Amino acid sequence: MTPPATVAVDVGGTKIRAGSVIDGRLAHVRSVPTPATTGARAVLDTIAEVVAAVIAETSGSGGDESGSGGAESASRGIEYGGGIAGPGGAGSGCDFAWRIGVGSAGVIDPATGVVVSATDSLAGWAGTELTAELTARTGLPVRAVNDVHAHALGEAVAGASRDARSSLLVAAGTGIGGGFITDGRLLTGRNSAAGHIGHVPSAAAAGLACPCGGTGHVEAIASGPAILDTYRRLASEFVEPGSPTSTPAHATPPSSNPATAPWNTRELAAAASAGDALALRAFDAGARALGSALGGIVNVLSPDLVVIGGGLAEMDTSWWSPLRATFAAELIPAASGTPLVKAELGQDAALIGAAGLWNDEPGETH
Ligand SMILES: [Zn+2]
């Protein structure tokens, strides 16, 4: 019998990553820029090219881990539970029965493989028959889910929630997304839209515009860009102590002048680490709002644990401590003690989750 192998693909607004997953090992990871502004056809063509490259590389090397030109970096292997012993060296890549698993930006209907909706980060992506178009280009069977849903599946298959019966994955970065998994099954909900954690109402975000078009959602104060906005608001409100115009708005001045002020979330994080008072306040405000929202969600879903991924999870205690404090404070007694842990797989989670779409166990998403 021809052994199965999966090309896992993560389609984002800035890059497309792909790698082969054989017997639970991720290898031959490649990354290319997403042609995000030229329409769905260009994105689909690029995915098909990357898939072909991964298959060719895997076939050419018999599944070992030697990277070659064009690969993103040294290929790596990640083993996850249930795999057959051995790194897939039983035959050449030509002997595999290939299939494709995709985690993609946008709301994806796993049953039809259609992009239900998408933001402007991928022009023309909404309405794309993702799985059908990729099958037409590659001749291979394709399954697809939303990229954050794939991230949640990946952590549940091989990461921080691998031993949990139920888990809530929260991706906190440019946006705030998530996925709830119970007994290996991803909750996708009506219109495949489950998991939009960023759009829970938050008192701390009252009046703030949210990227979804609404106002007062937690993403409007807790996402990376929102935290940067908070910092800028705080800095603009700062009044020099002793000014005759008003009571000082802050006890300590912003450490940066406008010419050198942080202009992205990464720089703001560095400022916070260096003790910038306003940067610390901005991260604190975002973390408190998110912790409170997650506490409320856990009171509803009661997962075994909450896994935090995304760029903000890389922050130090200036973000984690207020997150944990408000999370714990929000929990009802019956849910107290619910663990809040950091994700383990980084950006490989979406690839492992996308490959996991082909784990043909009862309850797996389809
Ligand atoms: Zn919103």
pLDDT digits (tens, 9 = 90+) for 303-317: 999 999 999 999 999
Q: pLDDT tens digit string along 316-357?
A: 999 999 999 999 999 999 999 999 999 999 999 999 999 999
**Distance of CA 197 from the midpoint of ligand 1 (Å):** 9
pLDDT at 77 (0 to 100): 46
**Distance of CA 11 from the midpoint of ligand 1 (Å):** 22
**CATH architecture of the region 166-342:** 2-Layer Sandwich (3.30)
Q: 4-159+347-358: what fold?
A: Nucleotidyltransferase; domain 5 (3.30.420)
Q: Would the pLDDT of 91 be above 80?
A: no
For 93, what's the count of Cα atoms within 13 Å in the CB-facing half-sphere? Answer: 22
pLDDT at 239 (0 to 100): 64
pLDDT at 237 (0 to 100): 86
pLDDT at 321 (0 to 100): 98
**Distance of CA 211 from the midpoint of ligand 1 (Å):** 6
**Distance of CA 239 from the midpoint of ligand 1 (Å):** 31
Q: Would the pLDDT of 254 be above 90?
A: no
**Distance of CA 210 from the midpoint of ligand 1 (Å):** 5
pLDDT at 139 (0 to 100): 98
pLDDT at 129 (0 to 100): 98
Confidence of residue 61 (pLDDT cuts 50, 70, 90): low
Q: Where are the domains of the chain?
A: 4-159+347-358, 166-342
**169 DSSP β-pair partners:** 179, 307
Q: Would the pLDDT of 249 be above 50?
A: no
**Distance of CA 226 from the midpoint of ligand 1 (Å):** 12
Confidence of residue 127 (pLDDT cuts 50, 70, 90): very high
**Distance of CA 362 from the midpoint of ligand 1 (Å):** 34
pLDDT at 258 (0 to 100): 52
**23 DSSP β-pair partners:** none
Confidence of residue 242 (pLDDT cuts 50, 70, 90): low
**Distance of CA 326 from the midpoint of ligand 1 (Å):** 21
Q: Would the pLDDT of 281 be above 80?
A: yes
Average pLDDT over residues 233-246: 69
**Distance of CA 312 from the midpoint of ligand 1 (Å):** 18
**Distance of CA 198 from the midpoint of ligand 1 (Å):** 6
**Distance of CA 209 from the midpoint of ligand 1 (Å):** 8
Question: Same topology for domains 4-159+347-358 and 166-342, yes or no?
Answer: yes
**Distance of CA 89 from the midpoint of ligand 1 (Å):** 47
Residue type, 217: H
**Distance of CA 295 from the midpoint of ligand 1 (Å):** 18
Confidence of residue 86 (pLDDT cuts 50, 70, 90): very low
**Distance of CA 213 from the midpoint of ligand 1 (Å):** 6
pLDDT at 121 (0 to 100): 87
Give the chain's mean pLDDT. Answer: 87
**Distance of CA 257 from the midpoint of ligand 1 (Å):** 31
Enter the pTM of the model: 0.86
**Distance of CA 222 from the midpoint of ligand 1 (Å):** 11
**Distance of CA 44 from the midpoint of ligand 1 (Å):** 28
Q: pLDDT tens digit string along 187-217?
A: 999 999 999 999 999 999 999 999 999 999 9
**Distance of CA 227 from the midpoint of ligand 1 (Å):** 15
Whether the Cβ atoms of residue 203 and residue 175 lie closer than 8 Å to each other: no
Average pLDDT over residues 251-274: 74
pLDDT at 94 (0 to 100): 62
**Distance of CA 199 from the midpoint of ligand 1 (Å):** 4
Q: Would the pLDDT of 108 be above 80?
A: yes
Q: pLDDT tens digit string along 2-36?
A: 899 999 999 999 999 999 999 889 999 999 999 99
**Distance of CA 202 from the midpoint of ligand 1 (Å):** 10
Confidence of residue 159 (pLDDT cuts 50, 70, 90): very high
- The fraction of the chain above a pLDDT of 90, given in percent, is 77
**Distance of CA 365 from the midpoint of ligand 1 (Å):** 26
Q: Would the pLDDT of 88 be above 50?
A: no
pLDDT at 1 (0 to 100): 77
**Distance of CA 319 from the midpoint of ligand 1 (Å):** 21
**Distance of CA 2 from the midpoint of ligand 1 (Å):** 47
Q: Would the pLDDT of 85 be above 50?
A: no
Whether the Cβ atoms of residue 354 and residue 103 lie closer than 8 Å to each other: yes
